[in-house]
Amino acid sequence: MDELVQRIVAVHGCNNPILTEDILAAWSEYSRARVFQLLKKAVMEKRLVKYAYGVYYVPATASPGVVPVLDFRSIIEKKYIRDGGEVFGYYSGTTLKNHLGLIANTPDIPEIASSKASAKYRVINVGGGTVIVRRAKTKVTTANAAALQVLELFNDNNGIFDKDGLKKIGGFVCQAGLKPSDVFAYAKVFPARAMQNLITCGIENVFTASADTSDVYQLAIPETDTDRYVSGRYALNLPGETSGDWHFTSVWFSDTPCAVELWGKGQKRDTTAVLGSFGIADRFAAVEKTGIMSKHRHIYAADHYRAILDLLIVGAANGVMSLVKGATTDYLDTQEQKEYLLSQAEKALSSPHLSTKQKALIKEWIERESRNIYRGEAYAV
């Protein structure tokens, strides 16, 4: 057995997949060309087997002339899930559901989400087997892989599970030692439906067996009416006629018990003198759709246009416009919606209740947003 094979066996053993990059790293004192010469020689002499492109193994045979075949899953796991103590991917989709017992049928093609994926979605053939590999939504590590898998489950379009399904997910959560905050920390990299489905199924049903859920609290909603209502980023993170904001979890949940800060008469932020009741309505149905719980059956909240205008007027009063910077493109979808928002902002300029400073900043904002949507210019600082 020559030195190359000896080194491989010492590190990886026999009948285990070895990637080309691992071999090159172990032989860094040699040029790539020289290493490939040695690999080719070892393969020709049958001391090393080339399983697939970029994958080798040292065969250990119990019977003369019998060359063992590598397990396909060991290959894809080493390439896309884990290598030694390093984790950079996980099983997802129907494969994950099958592993947890949520579906009975084993999928023909395994699905993986991985930080090693070079494309958003690829169907890859490895040594006669096929795998679907998706680029993970964030860097996968040993610490966050299980939390990302939980969010993957609830991000599914049918991510609503029955009692038996939630029990199985709860068992996985318990085994992984996950707390709600572990999962919530990565909710921002998933579509809002992941958290909406989790909340609809009941956070307590998923985490009861594993950990105290008291480290995460949904913000309470005080009693509201047309004069005292939900607005700002709270309202932008409720379903509406536009796409709105995408930070539902970080806005509506906290690590300490607290309540939504209302806008309106008698509140710290009040724009009713300028905007009246424009865009304020009972939006209980929108709140209920997110899974947010409230003892109130009527919840008055701003629509997305009013929420942006509220942030604009208060931001101009404080000289801080960061929350509305690029709002037309961040929170709205169509040209018609953007033009409508700017027209309402123009109307607000005629209010005698705005200071000279507010009017100047609002006018400047309108001009910048207009450039942004009409000529596609980058938002100027």
pLDDT for 142-170, tens place per residue? 999 999 999 999 998 677 888 889 989 98
State how many domains the chain has: 4
Are 225 and 256 found together in one domain?
Answer: yes
Are 369 and 224 found together in one domain?
Answer: yes
Are 226 and 347 found together in one domain?
Answer: yes
The residues, any chain, with a CB within 8 Å of residue 299's CB and separated by 6 or more, are 221, 224, 230, 282, 283, 284, 287
How much is the average pLDDT of 175-198? 85
Domain assignment present for residue 110? The answer is yes
Give the domain extent around 43: 3-57
* Residue type (1 letter), 131: V
Are 206 and 342 found together in one domain?
Answer: no
Give residue 381's pLDDT band: very low, low, confident or very high (50, 70, 90): very low
Contacts 24+ apart (CB under 8 A), 256-259: 256/217, 257/217, 257/220, 258/217, 258/219, 258/220, 259/219, 259/220, 259/221, 259/222
Give residue 331's pLDDT band: very low, low, confident or very high (50, 70, 90): very high
How much is the average pLDDT of 56-76? 65
Percent of the chain with pLDDT over 70: 91
Give residue 68's pLDDT band: very low, low, confident or very high (50, 70, 90): low
Residue (of 26, 18, 22) closest to 43 by Cα position: 18
CA distance 240 to 154: 21
Two tokens, residue 301? 């909240």
* pLDDT on residue 376: 52
Q: Would strands 49-52 and 253-254 be described as parallel, antiparallel, or unpaired?
A: unpaired
CA distance 229 to 107: 49
Are 153 and 266 found together in one domain?
Answer: no
Domain assignment present for residue 78? The answer is yes
Domain assignment present for residue 241? The answer is yes
Give residue 67's pLDDT band: very low, low, confident or very high (50, 70, 90): low
Of 135, 159, 189, the one marking the end of a domain is: 135
Are 328 and 259 found together in one domain?
Answer: yes
Domain assignment present for residue 331? The answer is yes
Under DSSP, the state recorded for 269 is S
- pLDDT of 137 higher than 80: yes
Whether 54 and 20 have beta carbons less than 8 Å apart is answered as yes
